[in-house]
A and B are shown apart, each in its own frame.
Chain A
Amino acid sequence: MIKPTVREKKNFGFADVPEDTSFEAGYLVSVNSGWRSIRPVVNTDKCIGCMQCYLYCPDGVISIQENKAVIDYDFCKGCGICSKICKPGAIGMERER
C-alpha cells in the first residue's frame, strides 16, 4: 500500500536540507495523536462496513478491514466527522485521558 509513513527523525543539518526542490515523498517524522481531546471508538457490532467514515475522514486514517472500520490513532485528530457521518451510529466519541 502507498501511504506516507513515519521514518527516522534525523538531525537534519543545513547540509541535509535539499538545495533543489526535491526530497523523498511521504516522509513523516511526527504523529498527530497529541492533537486529540476526544477519540472515535468503533462498535464493531454496529458497524456494517459501509465505508462512509472512510470516505469523509479528512485525515484518511480509517480503513475497512474485514468489513469493519479500523482507525489509525497515530494520525486521527478526533474531529468527530466519522461519528456524525455514520448512519448506524457505530462510532462513539470518548474523552482522551
Chain B
Amino acid sequence: MSISAKTLDKNEYFYGHKACAGCGGSLAVRNVLKVLGKNAVAVLPAGCMSAVGFNFPQLCFANNAIISTFAGTASMLTGIEAGFRRRGIKDFTAVGFAGDGGTADIGIQALSGAIDRNDNIIYICYDNEAYMNTGIQKSGLTPFGAKTTTTPAGSNIHGNIRPKKNMFEIVAAHDIPYAATATVGYMNDFLNKVEKASKIQGTKYIHVIAPCPTGWGIPVSDTIDAAREIVDCGLWYLAEYENHEFKLSRDPKTFTSVEDYLRKQARFKHLTDEDIKIITDSRDKKWEFIRKNWN
C-alpha cells in the first residue's frame, strides 16, 4: 500500500519543536518519522533541526533521537546500527537528518565512508540551501546567485558565484543501493521514497528540498508553494538511483518560469536579467543531460 495522508501513522514523533513558523525542514523530519515509526532512531547533527528539537528540558522527539557532531551524522548512524545489531535488536531504523551544510560540506567524508561500507542506514539531507542555524551562510548546496551573509549582493558580485553542488549524483557515483531526490512540496512522492528506502538493505540517501522562509525571504505561508515551484520550473528534479541506474520520477513537458520562482524570494531580489538567463540556461543544459543519459 502506498503512503498517503490517509495511511500515514497518526502518531506525532516531532512535536512542540521551536522551528520558525513554516519551516520546511521540520515538516520533512516530522513526516519521515511518521513513515519509519516509533522504532526509528534519529541522528541529528548540529543544524536547525537539532537546535529546535533539543532544548533541555524541552525534548521534542517521541522516538529515540540523538545529536551528533556536525561532521559525524553518518558515522554515528553506522555506530548505532552496529550497536543494535550486536545486541540482537532487529526492529529499528537508523535514520539521519542532516542539513545541506552538514551533508555536502562538513559531513561528506563520513557519508562517503558509510556508503562505501554499505552500512544499513537511511540518510536524509534536508536542503534549505544554506547554513541557516548560524545565520544564513553559503554552503556547497547554495544555488548560483543566492544572497547569503557570506555571499552578499553588491554592484560587482551578485550573490553566490558558484553553482549548487550535485550531491545526488555524487552519492549515486558510489553505486549506493538507493538514492532519491524529493521536495517537501510533493509529499506523497517524498514519503513513498522514504518507505521504499526503509525496505532496502544497505545505505540509502534521500535529498529533500526543504525551504526556509527565514533564509529565503519568503512569507511563512509560502513554504510549500516554493517547494513545488522549484520542481515545476525545473531548477530541481525528482529522481531515483537504483540498480545502477538513474530514473526520473517526473519528466515535465514544460517548465514554469524560472524568473517567477526567483523573483518571489528576497535572496534573489538583486539578480539582473542576465543573471536569470545564466540560471535558465544552466537549467536547460542540465535537463538536456538528464534526458540524454538517464532512462
Contacts and interface: CB of A to CB of B under 8 A. Distances in A.
B242 to A, nearest CB: 25
B15 A4 contact: yes
A52 B5 contact: yes
A23 B224 CA distance: 34
Contacts of B220: 77, 79-81
Interface string B5-29: 1101011111111111111101100
B265 interface: no
A83 B14 CA distance: 21
Contacts of A29: 57-58
Given A56-B187, A58-B223, A85-B224, A28 B11 contact: no
A25 B41 CA distance: 12
B221 interface: yes
Interface stretch (B62-70, B97-105, B108-116, B200-208): B62-70
Contact of B58 (A27, A54, A61, A63): A27
Interface residues of B, number: 42
A55 interface: yes
Interface residues of A, number: 44
A26 interface: yes
Given A4-B12, A23-B56, A23-B59, A32 B18 contact: yes
Given A25-B63, A54-B5, A58-B19, A84 B224 contact: yes
8 contacts: A1-B10, A4-B62, A6-B16, A25-B64, A27-B58, A29-B57, A29-B58, A80-B219
B60 A56 contact: no
A25 to B, nearest CB: 6
B31 interface: yes
Given A17-B56, A55-B8, A58-B27, A28 B22 contact: no
Contacts of A17: 56
B225 interface: yes
B31 A79 contact: no
B38 interface: yes
Given A2-B12, A29-B57, A83-B221, 7 more contacts: A25-B61, A28-B59, A51-B6, A58-B21, A59-B17, A60-B30, A77-B21
Contacts, number: 120
Interface in A46-68: 50-52, 54-61, 63
Chain B interface SS verdict (over half): loop
Given A58-B30, A78-B21, A51 B59 contact: no
Interface in A1-56: 1-4, 6, 9-10, 12, 17-18, 21, 23-32, 35-36, 50-52, 54-56
Contacts of B18: 32
Contacts of B62: 2-4, 25-26
Contacts of A58: 19, 21-24, 26-27, 30, 223
A32 B16 contact: yes
Interface string B46-86: 00000000001111111111100000000000000000000
Nearest to A82: B221
Contact of B21 (A10, A31, A79): A79
